[in-house]
Amino acid sequence: GPDDEEGDENRPTASGTCLSVVGLILATVGWLASVACCSLPLWKRTEFSGQTLMVRQTMVEGLWVSCILPGVGKANCRTYSGSGKDVPLDVYVGRILTLAAVATAFLGLLVNWAGSRCCSLVGSQETKSRLLTASGLAFLVAGAAQLLAVTWPAYVLATEFHHPLVHEVLAISIGPCIHLGWGAGALLLAGGALLASPCCRRQRRGRRRRSRDYASPYSPGGREPGTSVRNFV
């Protein structure tokens, strides 16, 4: 009957709230991982092992700086020029996509906060629901950008690794930031999918309908459940 249908609609309220919280946590962790991926110079690791070198040296490269780590002594770091002429194309594109992922995910966090219960800037529940869904879409875009940002440099590194001339002198490997970027993209996609999922939207619609059905009978437009409105002439 109608009561059963209403109960079925309101039943996923607790699970929908749990999914929203889990989605926000995953997206927040993914955003922090993207920030670390953007900052640390650990995208590419190269070990020089030629016979002319007395001491083995290791060079680590990131989006903004490259450092040479000698076996003994202090590390020597060099910042890329602002023009980007000395930056490989895959690193330059990875820099743009990573910055876009960090900025978009941060925007998603702000939109999610604006649509949460603790924020009083938006009073309409319908608008809050749309803001939460929009935050999920922002996290999905950020996750896709982060995955693209690390996948192309990883492909280029894999190509260099299998090059016969380079492999004799250099030992090239993927840095930890590439793996961190893959994890960040996956977390952002998972969090965005949960926040934008139909289950969470159904939960928010069920909460609004329940609040209207159980409105106070003394308030304007409020009536008790099970009562009907009759017109008297």
Which CATH number is 186's domain given? 1.20.140.150
Using alpha carbons, select from 118, 108, 126 the residue that is nearest to residue 195. 108
Please tell me the predicted confidence (pLDDT) of residue 32.
98
Residues of the chain with pLDDT under 70: 1-16, 49-56, 71-73, 82-84, 119-120, 122-123, 161-170, 199-233
Q: Is residue 57 part of a domain?
A: no
Asked if 101 and 34 count as a contact pair (C-beta separation under 8 A), the reply is: yes
Q: Is residue 75 part of a domain?
A: no
Q: Is residue 67 part of a domain?
A: no
Please tell me the predicted confidence (pLDDT) of residue 163.
58
Tokens 């993914």 found at: 30
For 186, list phi and psi in degrees, rounded to 5: -65, -40
**156's tokens:** 């280029």
Please tell me the predicted confidence (pLDDT) of residue 50.
57
Q: Is residue 229 part of a domain?
A: no
Please tell me the predicted confidence (pLDDT) of residue 36.
96
Q: Is residue 68 part of a domain?
A: no
